Amino acid sequence: MTVLLSGRDAYKDELANLAETEGRIICLETDLGGKNHPFQKRHPERFLNLGIAELAGVDIAAGLAEAGYVPFISTFAAFAALRASESVKLSMGYMGKNVKVVAAYGGVSGGWFGTTHHALEDIAVMQSFQNIRIACPHGEEETRRVIREAAASAEPYYIRLSRNDKFDSLYRSSDSSCRELLIEDGKLTKSLSQLCLISVGEQATELCKELAKEYESITHAHACYVDSQILQTYVEPLKALSNRFLVVEEHRATGGTASYLALLMPKHQVYSHSCGDQWPTYGGSHTEVLADLGFGLEPLRRQIQTILGGTDGI
């Protein structure tokens, strides 16, 4: 039986696989890649731990990209999106350098590590920098696909991963890109559904899978890429599903996917199930910290019922 990998480990393994045939790939870490990194083991000459230097790391990656390499640089989301944000803005957004930032510990997946290591603002920051592809894959297979897509693309990427949780990705046909909106199986009907859940990221997708099973009248669409340009391509497929949308995203409401989709679909109702405005203050596991922020199965169920007019409306 194959052991399922977390998105973070799937990234390392897939990149090491790709580097077997793609000599331009360079793997950069800023001292948070962990020991026994598979890329380091398999391609030591192209693995560089730059040390604790995220801001310089992104600019150095830009220099490598200019010289023809395809650098993947990984650190925690809070540091990639916030500490290194000016480098990301200039090198990747403005100048479009072919740099791939792989940001683990997205959202509050750092759990008890505390607020310094949480990133509930990263999508907002990244979405405001045009030209950067933002991917939030769910589970091992989708993460591997996103890594392959990033390596094959000349565009800059921000790939948001979680920590150590392991999930089976939703089924996606082998010939479809992760840039396409994924409608969970068995939920397509001829008429519009009462509500369409749009999941972004791992925890959110797991919640939506659960609730889509529970309510026949609800559709589940999974969005892997959430940058402003790709979100625009989701609009027509989404309109074919429902008039009401609830975006479930481990992020703040401000600057999140729901807020941008609301701009793109002004005649539709777009709601958000997010981590709200509170700072995560208390310890606990990933799920427990999310629960403290009002993000989880029960609050989401209640929100759905409210949107649909109570349990009678469903």
Partner 1 sequence: MQNIPVYSEWEMPISEIADKAKEARKLIIDMAATPTGCHIGGSLSVIDLLVVALAKYGHDPNSSVILSKGHAAAALYASLYVYGRLSSNPAESYGKQGSLYTGHPNHKLPGIPFATGSLGHGVAYAAGWALAQKLKGTGGLGIVIGGDGELQEGLCWETAQIAQAQSLSNFVYIIDCNGGQNDGMIEDISPIRNVKERFKAFGFAVKEIDGHRHEDIFEAIAPDRDKPLAILARTIKGKGVAALEGHPDSHYAKIPANLAKRWKVSLT
Residues forming the site for partner 1 (CB under 8 A): 26, 45-46, 48, 50-51, 53, 55-69, 86-87, 90-91, 94-95
- Cα 258 to Cα 35, 50, 127, 192, 197: the distances in Å are 37, 36, 12, 20, 11
Q: HSE-up of 208 (CA within 13 Å, CB side)?
A: 34
d(CA 198, CA 183): 9
- Pinpoint the alpha helices (H) of 82-227: 85-87, 122-127, 139-152, 202-214
Residue closer to partner 1 by CB (options 66, 277) is: 66
User: Measured from the CB of residue 91, what is the shortest distance to partner 1 in angstroms?
Assistant: 7
DSSP 8-class letter at 185: T
Cβ at position 85, least distance to partner 1 in Å: 11
Which one, 58 or 261, has the nearer CB to partner 1?
58
Tokens of 139: 């589970």
Pick between residue 69 and residue 167 the one whose CB is nearest to partner 1: 69
Least distance in angstroms from the C-beta of 89 to partner 1: 9
**Residue placing its CB nearer to partner 1 in the complex, 70 or 124:** 70
DSSP 24: T
Q: How far apart are CA 45 and CA 253, in angstroms?
A: 42
CB closer to partner 1 out of 24 and 239: 24
Q: Which is nearer to partner 1, 62 or 136 (CB)?
A: 62
CB of 12 to partner 1, least distance (A): 20
CA distance 286 to 107: 9
CB of 302 to partner 1, least distance (A): 46
CA atoms within 13 A on the CB side of 153: 22
Smallest gap from residue 212 Cβ to partner 1 (A): 45
Strand order from edge to edge, sheet including 269-273: 182-183, 218-222, 195-200, 244-249, 269-273
**Strand positions, DSSP E, 195-279:** 195-200, 218-222, 244-249, 269-273
Token couple for 262? 């609301």
Give the nearer residue to partner 1 in terms of CB position, either 59 or 202.
59
Shortest distance in whole angstroms from residue 46 CB to partner 1: 7
DSSP secondary-structure letter at 192? P
Nearer to partner 1 by Cβ, of 64 and 181: the residue is 64
Map tokens 């398999």 to a residue.
42
> At closest approach, how far in Å is the CB of 80 from partner 1?
15
